[in-house]
């Protein structure tokens, strides 16, 4: 996995049965999982993203793959909730 944090951001949807909104996000990195205080995220959507956090198997340039901002869809077809994976913004201490 890339040593950088990966952000998953909701970019579009028909509706959300879980109460999510466009712009909601979570991050995964070396320190673990995080999201903004008070925000929730559908665990089915999270489960559809987690296997991809290491990037595609056999791809040498995983960072380049995340730079392309791949799109992932939640497994509930009528919702059509789409999320983009990207490198999380750098945080300055």
pLDDT digits (tens, 9 = 90+) for 31-62: 889 999 999 899 889 999 988 887 665 567 77
Examine residue 92 and state whether it is found in any structural domain, yes or no. no
Structural domain harbouring 52: 6-87
pLDDT higher than 80, residue 13: yes
Handedness of CA 92, 10, 65, 46 (dihedral sign): positive
Domain count within the chain:
1
Instruction: Report the pLDDT value the prediction gives residue 9, as an integer from 0 to 100.
Output: 96
Examine residue 93 and state whether it is found in any structural domain, yes or no. no
Please give the model's pTM, rounded to 2 decimal places. 0.85
Where is pLDDT greater, at 30 or 78?
78
Where is pLDDT greater, at 55 or 74?
74
Examine residue 1 and state whether it is found in any structural domain, yes or no. no
């Amino acid at each position: 996995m890339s040593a950088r944090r990966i952000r998953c951001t909701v970019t579009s949807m028909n509706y959300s049965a879980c109460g999510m909104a466009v712009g909601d996000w979570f991050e995964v990195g070396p320190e673990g999982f995080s999201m903004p205080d008070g925000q929730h995220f559908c665990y089915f959507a999270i489960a559809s993203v987690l296997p991809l956090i290491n990037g595609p198997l056999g791809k040498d340039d995983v960072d380049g793959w995340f730079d392309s901002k791949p799109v992932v869809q939640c497994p509930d077809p009528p919702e059509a909730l789409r999320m983009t994976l990207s490198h999380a913004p750098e945080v300055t201490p």
